[in-house]
Structure 1
Amino acid sequence: MKLVKIEAHGFKSFADPITLRFDGGVSGIIGPNGSGKSNINDAIKWVLGEQSSRELRGDNMDDVIFAGSKIIPAMDKAYVTLTFDNREHLSKFEEDYISITRKITRNKGSEYFINGEPSRQKDIKMIAMETGIGKSSLAIISQGTVAEIAEATDEQRRGIFEEAAGVSKYKLKKAETERKLEKTSQSLSQVKTIINELERQINPLKKQAEKAQLFLEKTEQLKNVEIALLGRDITVGTEKLNVLTEKLRGVDETKADYRKRIDEYNKKCSKLSIDISDLRRSINEKNGKITALRESYNALSIAVEKEKQRKELIASGQLRSNNSERLSALKDLIETSKHQLKTYEEQLSELIAKRDEFEKLNETLREEKRRIELDKNEKNKKKIEIETNIRILKQQKETHSNLFKGTKTILDNQRLFKGYKGLVADLIEVNSEFHTAIDTVLNNATQYVVVRDSETAVEAVNFLKKNRGGRATFIPMSSIQAKSVRDDHLLAIQGYPGFIGIASDLVKYAPEFKLLAKFLLGNIIVVEDVESANKISEIIDKKYMIVTKDGDTIRVGGVVVGGEKINNTNSLLGIDEQILKLENLLPQINEYLDAKENLSYDISNKIEQLFRNKNEIDKRLVSISEAKKNIERQNIEYSNELKNLTTEEIKFNDHVSDVNVVDIEVVKYKLDEIESSLKVDYALLERYESDFSRYTSEKSELESLLTDLIQDYSDDSTKFELTKRSLENDKFRLTNYYNLTHEYVLANYVLEIDPEKAREFVDKTREEIEKIGNVNIESIEQLNIIQDRYDLIKKNNDELEEAKETIIATIAEMDKLIITRLLNIVHDVNKEFDEIFRTMFGGGSAKIYFTDKNDILNSGIGIEAQPPGKNIKNLKLFSGGEKSLIAISLLFGILKARPLPLCILDEVDGALDEANVVRFAEYLQSLKNKTQFLVITHRHGSMSRMDNLFGATMQKRGVTTFFSVELAQAKTMVDDVKVEQQ
């Protein structure tokens, strides 16, 4: 590939644009020192990618830009363009001509162009290497290069042959490939480190994921069967509850009917009691009347007898004197009767007022008694409810009805196991304030059986298997370890609003079970509310379970469970405390009922006493009324008698006698009438008392039936409560654990096996899940993520391994190629070198050789040269001219063995004498058919044998210009150079 043109502007001393055109052959560039002729060499090196400012004889790259002179200002830009003939297409470009341009702008750096298109320095270097005109090749040789060849070490000299062999591009590729290999090795090392780390993570994560997957599978199996079983149990329990509800409602109605009938009997008895009292009062009144009538009858009889005596007196004439006496006596009697009547009226008023007071007090007492009875009924209902709950709790405790089958079996046979310690629920005591929180955390763990060691647990498991006693979870005290919250996490949340404490610190236990409490609750955080729980969970990176006092939880990883507070009626925690609490209420209620009973008894006594007092008053009222009537009647009689004595004389003695006889008959009639009425009253009293006795008996029978009914009601209530609690527990689990409604379960789940077998399956699966222990559900996703990353990294590793092998193979191939080319070039150059050496020196011999034939790839290349008549083995002992000529001979040998399209020789003939300069120049002519030479020289012998000459001059100070030179003109320029040198 021939250089056909050089264009430059602003480069070094090329302030004016220059253009040099070349036709091939040997072209010379001549000029005096300081004319800038060697800047052509720098321009070619610069445009081919030279980056060292020192190689270009400057301090920095901007120094290649024209710096200015006295008459021409400094320039800011420079460019150089080389145009090559590519008609042989030695380059990859298809164009016949290739122009390579490098531009530089001050303080902005360089730009590269190929055929006017922006390009990279790398692309230009590649063209130079492909064509053999690179800055480091034999295409550009200076006087210093010749000296270096002669004086270089064997290893340094090797570079010349590498250039000649055309392996520079391979070495560059090899170096780049080795860098790739190093980078690939580093990447492989990094990848292997990552793989090792991922494998370190994957192995435990696989176990966690397998454990989590098994947990999920078991949980899903449990979920499907348990949900269907819960749906069925809720349906059956609801039906049973409905039946019991109807039954209790019927019993309530019957109790209400009995109480209504008892109330009716009470009312009837009360009415009969009043009627009997009234009737007895009436009888007493009538008896009083009978007594009074009998007294009147007796008095009238006496009066009749007196009348008879008076008649006798009248007949004897004594009546007149007696009348006066009688008149005086009657007045006294009338006055006495008035005083007595007044006394009776006062007594009657007083008694009537007392009777009214007793009636009001009686009504007040009866109303108070009714209120007391109502209060007693309410308290009795509360008492029955408490006693029912106590019976239910005691039944649960004694029969273990709310325990899992396996747990119940172990508890019933605990005496068989020496290492038995108890149930978790029996070994820790929970304050009522934290009952919900701890029960939520422990849940079924309250039924775990605590044993001394693993041997006891194995013994118990075998017992359950042998006796088909269900399944149970055992906690061997010798195997467990305490759990805790990390100190830094605990320090971060202590004192935080809402933080209460660690669950294990909020329960009581015997000293020997401290480890048990720490194992179950040591890493559980208890807080006030869900807001506090959420904030504290963020602080501890969701690494611990948090529970609120209401039972809301935030699990490890951040899952939040909570909502409406649902009492776990199947809880084992605090049963003794509940029983004790309820039993403590009973004495209070009994004391209250006793007090009310005593008060009711006192009121009944008061009512009875009032009744007796009232009867007594009624009797006195009757007696005083009758006495008053008698006095009034006597008074009337006395008044009449007095009137008769004072107004007229008794005309007819038989008249009074007749009246008295009539009065006796009237009294006798009334007496008979009252006695007849009294018989009716006695008969009615007997009937009332008989009815009262019958009603009392029937009421007692009803009360007995009511008592039995209340007992049946209590038993049914116990069944109802047990069923209700079981139902609530089922609903609690369905809602709280599965977040499902009963309706949804009925529509979407079917229990396909027998309920009892399903229950056994649920117990067994739950125990299997509990045996799995704590799981990290996120490990499945983490494993997938890490596994995907591992697979990708492993694939990258495999690709890198493959790439590494390919790179190593490529390096080996390049090494093989380099060795082959080096062997060939040394062989070919050796033949040419010896011949050229003899030509240059007029005889002698010379050769080149590998200093280490066993390591051609790294071996240096030595030179042996023997000019005629000399036997010098060390090149350094030759003269400067001889060394230059040896080096030139070697360079010509290389060029002849491996011709280059272009070779620039910059004053390489400077150290030769005139004879050798001629030989040098003549030999160039023998090589020009295959190599284009651009010779920068000031030697006549060289100039005279150039095909073209270009002269360099500075017509303007500091500015180089070029012109074509004829040979005669060249001689004159040479002479001028000699004069300058002298």
Structure 2
Amino acid sequence: MYLQKLEVHGFKSFAQSATLEFQRGISAVVGPNGSGKSNIADALRFVLGEQSMKSIRSKKSEDLIFSGSTKRARMNMASVALHFDNHDHMFPIDFTTVVIQRKIFRDGENQYYINGAQVRLKDLTELIAKAKLGLKGYTIINQGMGDAILESSPKERKEIIFEALGLKEFQLKRADAIAKLSHTHVNLEKAEGITREIEPHLKFLKRQAEKIEERQELEEKLRTLERMYMHTRLRAVDAALDQRKQQAGAHERRIVELREAIDAISLKLDTQGEGVTHSFEGVSHLEAELMKEEVQRNSVEREIGKIEGMIAALEGAEERFVALDVGYVREKLEQLNNNLADALHSDSHDALRSAVHEFSQKLNALLHEVRSGNVSVKADQKAVDKSHQLREEGRRLSGLLEESGKRVREIKEQMRGIYAAHDAEKEKTFVLRNEKREKELTLLREEEKFSAVNAEAEHFYREREVLHKEKEMLESRGVDFRIGDDAGGHSADEEETRRNIERLRLRLENIDLIDENIKKEYDETLARYNFLIKETEDLRNAISSLHKIIEELDGMISVRFKDAFKKINEHFNEYFSLLFDGGSARLEMVAEERELTGEEGEIVRERKEDYGVDVDVSLPRKKTTGLAVLSGGERALTSLALLFALVSTSPPPFLVLDEIDAPLDEANSLRFSKILHELKSHTQFVIITHNRETMRQADTLYGVTMQEDGVSKLLSLKFGTPDDMVV
């Protein structure tokens, strides 16, 4: 890597855009005093991120911008850009050319760019450190800074050497690690403090959240049971209602059938009553006829009795007895036989009974005559005739009596028929009435059953209405009733489910009602607590890792520094002997101490763990040693010997020397130029000088002049080519 060119615009005395192109080797910048030569070194410091105005020879940032002159107006912005060849990738970025640019405005704003991309100062500083470029007096050395290296404290000297050795990158990493470690410790203390602070509150919230979770679990169980119970009850109520509707329909149909049957029976009874009434219509007439016949029959019987008495009287007066003969008996028997035959052909029961009675009397009389052996014979014919007439009359009356008996029997038979028909009609009426009474009783029972079924249905309707209201209430509380048809089977015991619901409701009443936001607050607090615990663990791990990184960096810096320190000492002694033509010089690592005041006022020295670098010189032909006895020229040579020792040990990409050779005499100028010639093969030099010997070693020569308008102007000359002046 080497410096290709420097572009300045509006920086200090460079009002116009100016470009300095550098070649490998030595580039010298010359010019009269006050022409602006050192502004080039200041521009290099500025673009590399220098923040100290004193180091850039200014009091405030405004002084870096061209302030104007009598002929030119002031500018509002200054810009400096450095172009580097990066083929060897000393800048760890994938560009063969790296351009670093810095702009400053009058309001104090600074902008930093790497290859046109705006970056932070930190990014720029890290990139410069990785390329072994620095601002601690090694890359750019202004007038007086050579002596300043010797005047620096041991610790500052150590920092300059670190920067020269390229350890600045690791120091920055170490400083960054230490800063992160400190910041991590602060964050760890904060995290632990916050963790300790929220732990009691988290425990309280946890207890409350557990109660909420318990309540939610119970509510979920309750919702499940209520859902199952409600579903089961609704299905049971719907099934019961369907059953009651079917039963009510059956009872209603039965009631209609019974009422129709009762109406039909009532109609039959009305018809049957008319039949019974009609069946008695001929009875009175028959009874009158029977009474009339009985009266006539009694009259005829009295007449017959009178005639029989008269006949008996006639027979008693004229009767005589004669011997009984067979002819007489035979005649009597024939008469009796004929009378009996006539009687048997009679249709009347009474006539038959009368004929049988008469036959019996006559037979008894004949038997009496046969037993006595005598037969009474009427002596008077008149009496006989009279008796005969009376007998004829008797037979006529007997015939009338027989006919009357026949009529009486007929009337009685008709009356018996009427009574039988009446009894049959009454029996039918009785049967119908019994049937109607049974139907009415059955109807009453059916109506009672119908009323009972309707009452049960009404009860189930009310229960279903209540269940639907409870279902709406439960749905408003978030209970989901979207259950399959088989969900009712999950509840084996409905009553047991109801008791479980009551128990859960009682348990929920015993749990304090807690704000639901407590659960959210607990989750948030727990998440924060877990985050803090994780952060605490991460911070502890980060602290451990940072300690390891710092330890590794310390080890790496220490090893590299000690290895390079020996070489620096060798080169320092070599260049010191060359510049002083003898003598010796060396660097020593010393531990730093600080003075403290004890309890009794005494001075106590405390040794720090950090160390610094001290310089010990021994001049030739002089017994005195130490930096304090050196003259100005000797101090300049000593600082140059140290500078060249650093360059030889760790060659920087480029080195800017601003009139550092001014105190040298001619002999030392020759030695100085000789050393430059040796080192230019490893390091690019940009030297601001008035020394002719130094100019002779230059490969490119830039001249800086100050014009009348107060603006610096550049002239360049390249050696080894035809003389050419370029404005």
Paired position in structure 1 for 2:92: 92
Return the match for 1:956 from 708, 711, 716.
708
Alignment of 1:632-643 (within 5 A): none
- What's the offset of the Cα at 1:832? 0.8
Q: Which residue of structure 2 lines up, in the alignment, with residue 752 of structure 1?
A: 491
Q: Which residue of 2 aligns with 1:884?
A: 636
1:895 offset after TM fit, Å?
A: 0.9
Q: Are 1:841 and 2:609 an aligned pair?
A: no
Whichever residue aligns with residue 681 of structure 2, its letter is N
Deviations 1:314-357 (A, max 9, x none): xxxxxxxxxxxxxxxxxxxxxxxxxxxxxxxxxxxxxxxxxxxx
Q: Which residue of structure 1 aligns with residue 564 of structure 2?
A: 825
- 5 Å matches for 1:776-925? 776-852=515-591, 858-925=610-677
Distance 1:16 1:210 in 2: 77
CA RMSD of aligned residues (A): 4.4
Q: CA deviation at 1:138?
A: 0.9
Residue matched to 2:392 = none
Tell me which residue corresponds to 1:200: 200
3-state SS in 1 of match to 2:49 = coil
1:768 CA drift (Å): 3.9
Q: Return the alpha-carbon distance in structure 2 between the equivalents of residues 744 and 121 of structure 1.
A: 66
Question: 2:557 aligns to what SS in structure 1?
Answer: helix
Aligned pair in 2 of structure 1 residues 4, 220: CA closer, same or farther (>3 Å)? closer
**Separation in 2, partners of 1:866, 1:6:** 41
Gaps of 5+ in 2: 249-451, 594-606, 720-727
- What CA distance in whole angstroms lies between the structure 2 residues aligned with 1:774 and 1:198? 24
Name the amino acid aligned to 2:585. A
Please give the alpha-carbon distance, in whole angstroms, between the structure 2 residues aligned to 1:744 and 1:66: 84
Matched, 1:929 2:681: yes
Q: CA deviation at 1:865?
A: 0.9
Residue 237 of structure 1: how far off its partner (Å)? 13
Alpha-carbon separation, structure 2, partners of 1:54 and 1:151: 17
CA distance in 2, matches of 1:744, 1:12: 85
Q: Would you say 1:60 and 2:68 are equivalent positions? A: no
What is residue 370 of structure 1 aligned with on the other side? none
| Structure 1 partner of 2:474 | 738
Amino acid of the structure 1 residue aligned with 2:7: E
Deviation of 1:218 after TM superposition, in Å, equals 3.0
Q: For each residue in 1:185-230, what CA deviation from the matched residue of structure 2 results, as whole angstroms up to 9, or x when unmatched?
A: 3444444444445543432333223223223333443444456557
| Contact 1:238–1:727 (Cα < 8 Å) also in 2 | no
* CA distance in structure 2 between the partners assigned to 1:24 and 1:744 by the alignment: 88
Aligned to 1:74, the other structure's residue is in SS state: coil
Shift of 1:857: 7.8
Q: In the TM superposition, what is the alpha-carbon distance from 1:871 to its structure 2 partner? A: 4.3
Contact 1:815–1:857 (8 Å) recurs in 2: no
Task: Please give the alpha-carbon distance, in whole angstroms, between the structure 2 residues aligned to 1:74 and 1:236.
Answer: 101
Q: After superposition, what is the alpha-carbon deviation per residue over 1:851-901, rounded to whole angstroms, capped at 9, x for unaligned?
A: 139999821111111112434454223222222222221111111111112
Question: What SS class does the counterpart of residue 79 from structure 1 fall into?
Answer: strand
Offset at 1:797? 4.3
CA spacing shift, 1:774–1:83, aligned 2, 3 Å: closer
Q: Which moved more, 1:758-767 or 1:814-823?
A: 758-767
**Paired residue secondary structure (2:686):** strand
Matched length: 498
SS in 2 for 1:24: coil
Once residues 79 and 69 of structure 1 are traced to their aligned partners in structure 2, the CA distance between those partners, rounded to angstroms, is: 19
Return closer, same or farther for 1:924/1:6 CA change in 2, 3 Å cut-off: same
Aligned to 1:468: none
Displacement of 1:73 in angstroms is: 3.0
Q: Tell me the residue number matched to 1:3.
A: 3
Between structure 1 and structure 2, the one with the greater Rg is 2
Which residue number corresponds to residue 369 of structure 2?
none
Judge which range, 18-27 or 99-108, deviates more. Answer: 99-108
The one-character-per-residue Cα deviations of 1:101-153 (angstroms, maximum 9, x if unpaired) are: 33445447444444455555444434432333333351111232211111122
Q: Secondary structure at the match of 2:20?
A: strand
Superposed, 1:455-466 pairs within 5 Å as: none
User: Is contact 1:9–1:15 with CA below 8 Å preserved after alignment?
Assistant: yes
Instruction: Tell me the residue number matched to 1:139.
Output: 139
Query: How has the CA–CA distance of structure 1 residues 771 and 193 changed in structure 2, closer, same or farther, with 3 Å as cutoff?
Result: same
Q: Which runs of 5+ in 1 are unaligned?
A: 247-715, 968-982
Match of 1:158 in 2: 158
In structure 2, the CA distance between the partners of 1:220 and 1:25, relative to structure 1 (3 Å rule), is closer
- Is 2:618–2:626's contact at 8 Å kept on the other side of the alignment? no
| Higher mean C-alpha displacement, 837-846 vs 102-111 | 102-111
TM-fit CA distance, 1:822: 1.6
Residues 666-694 of structure 1, C-alpha deviations (whole Å, 9 max, x = no match): xxxxxxxxxxxxxxxxxxxxxxxxxxxxx
Show the 5 A alignment for 1:592-631: none
TM-score by length of 1: 0.45
Taking the aligned partners of 1:136 and 1:35, their CA distance within structure 2 comes to 26
Percent of aligned positions that are identical: 33
Secondary structure, aligned partner of 1:858? strand
Give 3-state SS (helix, strand or coil) of 1:28's partner.
strand
Give, as a single letter, the amino acid of the residue that structure 2 aligns with 1:826: F
| Cα deviation digits, residues 623-653 of structure 1 (max 9, x gap) | xxxxxxxxxxxxxxxxxxxxxxxxxxxxxxx
Contact 1:208 1:776 in 2 (8 A): no
Letter in 2 for 1:818: I
Secondary structure, aligned partner of 2:133: coil
1-side partners of 2:576 and 2:691: how far apart? 21
TM-score by length of 2: 0.59
Note closer, same or farther for the CA distance 1:753–1:138 as it changes in structure 2 (3 Å cut): same
Aligned counterparts of 1:221 and 1:16: Cα–Cα separation in 2: 87
Aligned residue type for 1:876: A
Cα separation, partners in 2 of 1:780 and 1:957, compared to 1, 3 Å: closer
Mapped to 1, the partners of 2:661 and 2:484 lie a distance apart of 110
| Worse overlay, 859-868 or 944-953 | 944-953
CA distance in 2, matches of 1:52, 1:897: 28
Structure 1 residues 102 and 217, CA gap change in structure 2 (3 angstroms): closer
The change in CA–CA distance for 1:25 and 1:871 in structure 2 (over 3 A counts) is same
What amino acid is the match of 1:849? E
SS in structure 1 at match of 2:610: coil
The whole-number CA distance in structure 2 between the counterparts of 1:947 and 1:891 is 21
Q: 1:760/1:28 Cα in 2 relative to 1: closer, same or farther (>3 Å)?
A: closer
1:738 counterpart SS class: helix
CA distance in 1, matches of 2:121, 2:502: 79
Any idea what SS the aligned residue of 2:474 has?
Answer: coil
SS in 1 for 2:611: coil
Pairwise CA distance, 1:835? 1.3
Q: How does 1:688-699 map to 2 (within 5 A)?
A: none
Q: 1:833 to 1:750 in 2, by over 3 A?
A: same
- Aligned partner letter, 1:738: L
Whole-Å separation in 2 of the counterparts to 1:932 and 1:229: 95
Q: What per-residue deviation string (whole Å, max 9, x for no partner) do you get for residues 561-595 of structure 1? A: xxxxxxxxxxxxxxxxxxxxxxxxxxxxxxxxxxx
Q: CA deviation at 1:48?
A: 1.7
Offset at 1:764?
Answer: 4.1
